[in-house]
Structure 1
């Protein structure tokens, strides 16, 4: 298939040139042939008409009657008259017939209704005395007194027959016929056709030779351009040379475009290699098409090693990794991930990643591209900070636990010392329930502390937040009635399902509702609302009450473990609440209710948390 395109072009050029040259030649040849045939026929007709005229003139003014009169045969019988006229005129028609091979000449008498002569007489003399048929064109000639020249199949076969009326003294006395066999005419036409075909063939041959010579040079230049274009696929800075004329101008324009494209590609490659973030692009089937220097450094794969391979073969998906790039390629959905684990060569990185679809100028999809930044050191630092924070929190917890447990322990110790030295059965019966109550108090403190500090298993499913709120409200309904508190619920109907642990959030809502109930001394209102925030794809839940509110100076402390303003409180309820909300990827804020009291606002993403955060 070497140089297929150029050869194909040459064949097309030759075919086009042959059509352009041969069609006019063939049409001209056909026209010339028809014209020559017509000219030959006209010449034949004129020739036959001229011979008939000569015969007419040689017959003389008197016609047949003069000959019969001179020979004393006017009163003879029909047969005798035919014989007299034949003897008198056969010499004339024979001499004319013998002057041109294939010529037939004769007289026909209208009065005698018979052929008088038909020369050459040695061939056609037997026809003398015969009458023509009623439909014979000779009768029309005698009726119309007009010359007729036409093809016909008569006595001697297929002929071109000229029939000239014989008019004497204003009366048609017969006609002269002069004919020639059509075979002779056709042989002459065929001879003309052969000459014309030879001339056309010579013309076409010369045209083909000329076309081959012209296209050969053109195709050589085209082949040079094609070879140059193939080289440009691998080296845009290698120009096309050795071409002149119009194709030379085309080659020069291609060279300029290739040079500009090469410079642009070099600039793009330099920009790509200068970017500190990894950049990888794939085609529509997922094969890697671009792999910048930062991607080489971060992943451990070289560009030569990666380009051309399927993205999934290098970065295999598993239970902990789902490729955002391949998902974008399949669904067309762009991704913007804050932090995720990414499998590279012989290790895993923590990265931030974005992925989007690649399109051409017409909007057709070319593939997809991902840009990622290494956040491994940041993740390690955050883990260290988180560990330090947890240690600090643990210190606070221990201090709080020591403080909270010391009081009941002191009471228990005092009672035990008292019972050790004295105490009656009645006193034991009176004080033992108090001892048990102090032990239960310590147990509740320890249970709450454990719930706050230990990791818990989240059961994340698509959850109807409105339903969880309704179930939680039912749990505190009787308590609210006893306090004279009414609920006002405003949940928008378009709140979607949210990925979260419903049981944990029931605990969150229960903690907040109990706090609001405890804050209202008597008769008040608690408003619960939920709405969808489409701009951020989040759900907002608010709790507001008509209690005294939370002073600004302690709002930052209410989420600290063991911080409480209530005499019987442990100070862990809001700390646990905040921990659950953050674990779900949400936020919780405290503010003022415009009508007086506190307002607590929770915002959680509809898709849930991206990380397995400890709750």
Structure 2
């Protein structure tokens, strides 16, 4: 067997293997081409999808950015608006707190929902609790009439106003005015706002104004009467004085003397009337009150009325000189000291105390006696002309004139008294009178 024959099977096998590998290679190439195309198409689709997704994401990002910008703008606007609201709330609160009236807001259960700072003047509570009961925090509102009006307002019966109602505040008699207004939410009453004012001083001022008007009318009447009486009285006294000089009959002379004494008393009353109705304008100079009081006491204590009266002086060295009319103030002291001595029936203790009022340019003079005192009813009339508790004695003009003189000095005078316990007269006088002196110079 030759070599070719021997290798024939191997050659055949080689060919077969070649064809097999060739076919397999072609299959692989074809498969690769097909797979690559599929992969390429898939990648193209993925790329397209991804691009669309990226475009959509970019669009949404832009939208989100736009929304974020708008949100930031709106947030800034909200912060600005919130700040403006806070400023407005603070401004309104400051306005409400600055008013000199107590303001309280309550709900329908009478629970406090708001109150301003001034309302603390109407309660003894150190701190007013929100949601606390109205009447527990403000006992002055427990007044039957006030409670009734508040309940009516909450029950949709409209606002109310109590012009003047007396209450007790921290142990003191106080006059209040109280107003109430319903608080509405849509068409429903949800509470009430209460406005409280202390009108005690205002009522005192009205009372003083009424007194001034009455005193003014009495002054005009007194002035006219004084002139009408004084002229004929002058003729009467002159005639009696002349008659006394010429009369030799003792009995007639005694009678004439009694008539003349009566005429002098009438003349004294008329002078009091004239001083009351047409007081001399004060002539202001620098005076020492302590010295003036001591001089007045020295003058009076030798009078029979003061013989059995113990006089105690507590004159503070801190009292400076004041600007005043020495004659008018001396007359005030004389009137008050004599009244005190008469109230003690020539026996008792008279105390005179002077002090400078702390933190004010005022001097306080207190005159205290241990006399019979003045009833509450009479105490209201002591400054009225011709009023006197000493029946048949005096003209009843002393305190009226004193009141007028003190007012001339822009001062104040008040009297406190209890029957059988004694009386205290309190006078406040300003240290300076510059404004008044200037006005008189201008006139």
Q: TM-score, normalised by structure 1?
A: 0.33
Question: If you compute each CA radius of gyration, which structure gives the higher value, 1 or 2?
Answer: 1
TM-score norm. by structure 2 comes to 0.44
